[in-house]
């Protein structure tokens, strides 16, 4: 049983009950005023207004149009604010004071919850990396590149095109060249894809020139969200040699409107897959005093409401703590609002692949959907990522979904 008495008519076992309390930013429909909200069931609590009504010292962190001030406040403040919020929605004595600050989700607009400072995306699923290697290097002795098990591979993306769930995704145009083409052509991407990922949100910054070790993960990372790294495979294939992803990735990255704090996911911590290569000390998480770095997150990918894949995040070879350590080991600093993606989440079976590239084996095997076959996305297609994690007493912790609809681009 959950360790809470659940007030405000939230059904017992609701994945967005008081054991969860993800943060977002909302405005009542028709209003331009944005403020921090906390989700409880199918309602959102105006956290700043509740804090003011209760005389809380956290008004300065919560009565804001962005999560930025709370993110920057650091680990102690994150835990204190969470304890206060939990009390506000579970202690009967507070019910009358805060009940008037709940809004039905259907009556609010949700916004990008924080200003994205920098965006980094990784390539951390061995299953995904092997599938991609087999697709593009079928004759290679090893489908993984030689560096893959020695460091978390990643690239720097474009922070300005991170968008909140529900934002339409305009089909990008660019150069592409099929193997049979004599020369490149320009036009809308014809191989538009998705990547089911988990994003990690940095709160506390770090000093330039000082790497963040594995033990710094909890001090710097506030929480996580679902992330869809939209990918134009034809543009990507022509441009990425030798420098990596650029225009094939930078047109849009969708994130959930809800950021789940790490403190809500304690029951979901798991050990990552067994390491098959000895790691350098800054990445070595095999010591007995290093806490488990993986998360048991169960993701679903749906196209036009039809589930096509269920990737398990617990299979990810590189953890978020290792990714944080690697992207700062050269002295690069963290900023409040930095976002980094896990990379495509794929499991070992065909029904657990996190991209259409893998699900259709680069267009060879079309998916059978109720509204027709798909290899890559068509205009009008709606992609939705959803997920849950194990929580206290067997209850589920829901992660806010990520939805995006593909719309035609300008030719």
Residues designated catalytic: 128
- Give the C-alpha separation, 62 to 85, whole Å: 11
**Close Cβ partners of 335 (under 8 Å, ≥ 6 residues apart):** 117, 118, 202, 205
Question: Strands 260-261, 221-228: parallel, antiparallel or unpaired by DSSP?
Answer: antiparallel
DSSP notation for 199-224: EEEE-S---TT----GGGHHHHEEEE
- Give the C-alpha separation, 50 to 196, whole Å: 35
- Give the C-alpha separation, 194 to 208, whole Å: 34
Instruction: Compute how many other C-beta atoms are within 10 angstroms of the C-beta atom of residue 347.
Output: 21
**Close Cβ partners of 105 (under 8 Å, ≥ 6 residues apart):** 39, 42, 43, 44
**Close Cβ partners of 252 (under 8 Å, ≥ 6 residues apart):** 161, 163, 167, 169, 170, 172, 230, 404
Cβ proximity of 233 and 239 under 8 Å? no
Q: At CB < 8 A and 24+ separation, what contacts does 58-63 make?
A: 58/84, 61/36, 62/35, 62/36, 63/35, 63/36
Exposed, middle or buried by CB within 10 Å (0-12, 13-18, 19+), for 125?
A: buried
Helix (H) or strand (E) holding 51: helix 47-53
Residue (of 234, 229, 233) closest to 162 by Cα position: 229
- Give the C-alpha separation, 84 to 100, whole Å: 17
Residue (of 354, 299, 385) closest to 123 by Cα position: 354
Cis peptide before 168 (omega within 30 of 0): no
Cβ proximity of 261 and 86 under 8 Å? no
Cβ proximity of 123 and 343 under 8 Å? yes
């Amino acid at each position: 049983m959950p360790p809470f008495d659940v007030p405000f008519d939230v059904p017992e076992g609701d994945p967005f009950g008081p054991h969860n309390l993800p943060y977002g930013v909302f405005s009542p429909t028709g209003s331009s005023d944005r403020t921090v909200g906390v989700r409880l069931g199918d309602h959102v609590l105006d956290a700043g207004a509740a804090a003011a009504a209760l005389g809380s010292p956290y008004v300065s962190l919560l009565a804001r149009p962005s999560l930025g001030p709370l993110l920057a406040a650091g680990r102690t403040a994150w835990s204190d604010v969470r304890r206060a919020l939990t009390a506000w929605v579970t202690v009967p004595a507070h019910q009358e004071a805060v009940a008037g600050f709940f809004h039905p989700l259907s009556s609010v607009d949700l916004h990008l919850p924080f200003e994205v400072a920098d965006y980094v995306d990784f390539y951390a699923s061995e299953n995904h990396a092997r599938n991609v290697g087999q697709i593009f290097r079928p004759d290679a002795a090893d489908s993984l590149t030689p560096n893959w098990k020695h460091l978390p591979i990643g690239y720097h993306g474009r922070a300005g095109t991170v968008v909140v769930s529900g934002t339409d995704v305009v089909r990008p145009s660019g150069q592409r060249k099929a193997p049979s083409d004599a020369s490149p052509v320009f036009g809308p991407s014809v191989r538009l894809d998705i990547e089911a990922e988990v994003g990690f949100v940095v709160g506390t910054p770090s000093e330039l020139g000082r790497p963040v070790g594995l033990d710094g993960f909890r001090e710097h990372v506030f929480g996580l969200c679902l992330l869809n790294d939209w990918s134009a495979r034809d543009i990507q294939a022509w441009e990425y040699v030798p420098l990596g992803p650029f225009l094939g990735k930078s047109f849009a990255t969708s994130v959930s409107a809800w950021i789940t704090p790490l403190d809500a996911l304690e029951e979901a911590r798991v050990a990552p897959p067994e390491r098959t290569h000895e790691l350098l000390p800054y990445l070595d998480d095999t010591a007995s005093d290093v806490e488990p770095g993986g998360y048991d997150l169960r993701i679903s990918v749906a196209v036009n409401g039809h589930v096509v894949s269920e990737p398990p995040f617990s299979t990810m070879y590189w953890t978020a703590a290792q990714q944080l350590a690697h992207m700062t080991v050269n002295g690069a600093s963290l900023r409040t609002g930095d976002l980094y993606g896990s990379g495509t989440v794929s499991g070992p079976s065909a029904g657990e692949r996190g991209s259409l590239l893998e699900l259709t084996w680069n267009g060879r095997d079309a998916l059978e959907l109720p509204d027709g076959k798909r290899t890559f996305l068509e205009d009008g297609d709606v992609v939705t990522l959803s997920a849950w994690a194990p929580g206290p007493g067997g209850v589920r912790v829901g992660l806010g979904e990520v939805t995006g609809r593909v719309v035609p681009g300008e030719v």
